[in-house]
């Protein structure tokens, strides 16, 4: 039996086993394996661009071989297609393992998973048949089908991480704005308390583990009846008894408690969301209770208006939530291309920390372009042991909410430092250890009265300059060679 026939048989067997796995395996309920599989699956975003790029390279070589006869040997195209198939199998495996780790229900990833599997099948058909058939038509047909299926799989994956692009279509946005403008600002929001106010919180924070596809602890939170029924630990809510309701107990546990819900590594409820759920359980409202016929406490009125109201503050709050969601999607995309440079400062919040130490090996112009939409959400910048050139200084100066700026052992010009300090009005801590900071640059710090701690050890600052700076910032802690 030839090697190519053996390869084809092995490939068919692997795809068959994979198909069985896709059909019957559900996410792990055991937290130990869920953590391990989530870690392994996290490599899926790093791998997924490889088979896509390789496949389009195969297509380009096929076109080149038609335009210029014998320009590319068939053996080269075949070898590249085999490499594409191998990387596609690895990518699919990592993605499926990510699914097994939990956090994604089958309904969420169904189209992406099955279209990706269809891509493997069509690509395998192309590999098996390429060069064997005397008719090139079949080769082009399988190549075309593979490309179409790849586009479907890629779009479905993009929707999971970035949302449906049609949601940002101009006609939809303009229609929503027109509808908002046509409604009175003080109108009491319509709808049902449970469906329109409670369910969105549960969908956002709870149903990844307690939804239709994944039911940890046998607890579903998809309906009012399911909450009353509860899971293996008993009823989830006891209407009228918030203190005795398991859901309220769990969301109020400390973050380091392993029984806290959501777990510490997951996106947490806001204080307003937790307070609203607690009030809703205490109020013992029926499932069909209407919002406009409910007497809401003042704090809950403010929360409801922030969710459904049409006054300027509510619209602004919703816009902020939409912006936060968009920033988190951009952050996820940034992490895919430039892992390690940014980290989230708070789980679930669009606040980031920048580490220049991870820039090594990347094209910095490309990184700046990708970072630009996220720069004003930086809350900490660690730029130690690197040169801060003018282009980076201009970009980082847009980070107006930065609280910690670490420039230790870095080099910069006086004008670039002044630019940063003049724009960062929320600065709490500045570290300039081992830099050329001197007396001439003191005036750049003087205007920034929010600074609580500034480290100036091993700089060019004189004792006279140190005393002068202390007089400018009397309430700040100034650490230098003269304060020790």
Q: DSSP readout, 100-165?
A: HTSSS-HHHHHHHHHHHHHHHHHHHHHHHHTTT-S-HHHHHHHHHHHHHHHHHHHHHHHHHHH--G
Q: Which band of pLDDT confidence, cut at 50, 70 and 90, is reported for residue 354?
A: very high
Is residue 102 very low, low, confident or very high in pLDDT (cuts 50, 70, 90)?
low
Q: Tokens for 29?
A: 């309920």
- Structure confidence by residue, pLDDT tens digits, 437-478: 998 888 888 777 788 999 999 999 999 999 998 888 888 899
**Segment 177-200 mean pLDDT:** 68
Q: Are 434 and 480 in contact (CB under 8 A)?
A: no
For 479, the enclosing helix (H) or strand (E) is strand 477-479
Confidence of residue 1 (pLDDT cuts 50, 70, 90): very low
The count of residues in the chain is 484
The pLDDT assigned to 381 comes to 93
CATH 3.80.10.10 given to domain 338-479: yes
Taking CA atoms, 191 is separated from 199, 277, 284, 316, in Å, by 12, 17, 17, 21
Mean pLDDT throughout 405-429? 89
Name the least confident of 70-74, 387-391, 399-403, 409-413: 70-74
Nearest CA to 240 out of 228, 252, 250 is that of 228
Mean pLDDT (the chain) is 81
Residue 292's pLDDT is: 81
CA angle 385, 391, 397 (to 5 degrees): 85
**Band (185; pLDDT cuts 50, 70, 90):** very low
Q: Is the pLDDT of residue 100 over 90?
A: no
Strand partners, 382: 355, 406
**Strand, coil or helix: what is 48?**
coil
Which pair of structure tokens corresponds to residue 387?
């040169």
As a whole-number percent, the residues of the chain with pLDDT over 70 amount to 80
What share of the chain has pLDDT > 90, as a percent? 16
Domain extent listing, the chain? 3-162, 188-308, 338-479
- How many CA within 13 A on the CB side of residue 64? 12
Per-residue model confidence (pLDDT) at position 347: 61
User: Binning pLDDT at 50, 70 and 90, where does residue 176 land?
Assistant: low
Of the listed ranges 41-55, 137-151, 170-184, 290-304, the one predicted with least confidence: 170-184
- Interval 413-438 mean pLDDT: 89
Give the model confidence (pLDDT) of 218-249 as tens digits.
788 888 888 888 887 778 888 888 888 889 99
CA–CA gap between residue 141 and residue 304 (Å, rounded): 55
Which one-letter DSSP state was computed for residue 194?
Answer: I
Task: Give the pLDDT confidence of 117-147 residue by residue, as tens digits.
Answer: 888 888 888 888 886 655 677 888 889 999 9
- The SS3 call for residue 151 is helix
Average pLDDT over residues 61-70: 82
**Which tokens go with 18?**
């994979």
Q: What is the mean pLDDT of residues 251-274?
A: 85
**How does residue 326 score in pLDDT terms, banded at 50, 70 and 90?**
confident
DSSP secondary structure letter of residue 239: T
State the pLDDT at residue 168: 64
Q: In the predicted model, what is the mean pLDDT of residues 101-108?
A: 57
pLDDT at 181 over 60: no
Give the model's pLDDT for residue 407.
Answer: 93
**DSSP state, residue 171:** H
- Is the pLDDT at 348 greater than 70? The verdict is no
Task: With 0.75 as the threshold, say if the pTM is over it.
Answer: no
Of the candidates 199, 229, 181, 179, the residue with the CA atom closest to the CA atom of residue 291: 199
């Amino acid at each position: 039996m030839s090697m190519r026939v053996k390869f084809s048989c092995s490939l068919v067997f692997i795809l068959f086993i994979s198909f069985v796995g896709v059909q019957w395996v559900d996410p792990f309920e055991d937290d130990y394996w869920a953590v391990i599989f989530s870690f392994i699956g996290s490599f899926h975003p790093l791998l997924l661009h490889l088979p896509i790029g390789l496949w389009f390279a195969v297509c380009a070589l096929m076109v080149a071989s038609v335009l210029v006869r014998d320009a590319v040997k068939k053996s080269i195209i075949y070898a590249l297609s085999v490499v594409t198939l191998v990387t596609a199998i690895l990518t699919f495996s990592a993605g499926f393992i990510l699914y097994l780790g939990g956090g994604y229900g089958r309904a969420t990833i169904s189209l992406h998973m099955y279209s990706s599997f269809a891509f493997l099948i069509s690509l395998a058909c192309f590999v098996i048949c390429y060069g064997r058939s005397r008719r090139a038509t079949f080769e082009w047909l399988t190549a075309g089908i593979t490309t179409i299926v790849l586009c479907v799989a890629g779009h479905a994956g993009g929707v999971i991480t970035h949302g449906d692009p049609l949601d940002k279509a101009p006609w939809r946005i303009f229609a929503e704005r027109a509808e908002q403008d046509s409604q009175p600002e003080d109108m009491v929001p319509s709808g049902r308390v449970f469906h329109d106010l409670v369910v969105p919180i549960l969908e956002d924070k709870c149903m990844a583990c307690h939804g239709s596809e994944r039911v940890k602890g046998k607890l579903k939170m998809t309906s009012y009846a399911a909450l009353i029924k509860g899971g293996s630990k008993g009823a989830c809510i006891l209407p009228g008894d918030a203190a005795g309701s398991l859901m309220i107990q769990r969301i109020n546990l400390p973050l380091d408690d392993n029984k806290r819900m959501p777990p510490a590594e997951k996106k947490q409820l806001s204080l307003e969301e937790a307070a609203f759920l607690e009030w809703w359980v205490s109020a013992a409202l029926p499932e069909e209770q209407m919002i406009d016929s409910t007497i809401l406490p003042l704090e809950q009125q403010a929360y409801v208006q922030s969710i459904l109201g049409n006054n300027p503050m509510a619209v602004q709050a919703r816009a902020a939530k939409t912006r936060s969601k968009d920033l988190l999607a951009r952050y996820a995309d940034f992490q895919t291309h430039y892992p390690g440079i940014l980290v989230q400062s708070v789980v679930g919040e669009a606040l980031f920390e920048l580490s220049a130490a991870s820039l090594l090996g990347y094209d910095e112009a490309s990184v700046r372009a990708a970072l630009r939409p996220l720069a004003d959400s930086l809350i900490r910048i660690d730029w130690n042991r690197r040169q801060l050139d003018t282009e980076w200084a201009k970009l980082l100066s847009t980070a107006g909410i930065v609280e910690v700026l670490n420039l230790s052992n870095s080099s910069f010009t006086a004008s670039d430092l002044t630019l940063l300090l003049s724009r960062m009005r929320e600065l709490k801590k500045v570290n300039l250890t081992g830099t050329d900071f001197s007396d001439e640059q003191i005036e750049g710090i003087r205007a920034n009265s929010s600074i609580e701690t500034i480290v100036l050890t091993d700089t060019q600052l004189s004792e006279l300059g140190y005393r002068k700076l202390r007089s400018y910032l009397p309430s700040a802690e100034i650490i230098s060679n003269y304060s020790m």
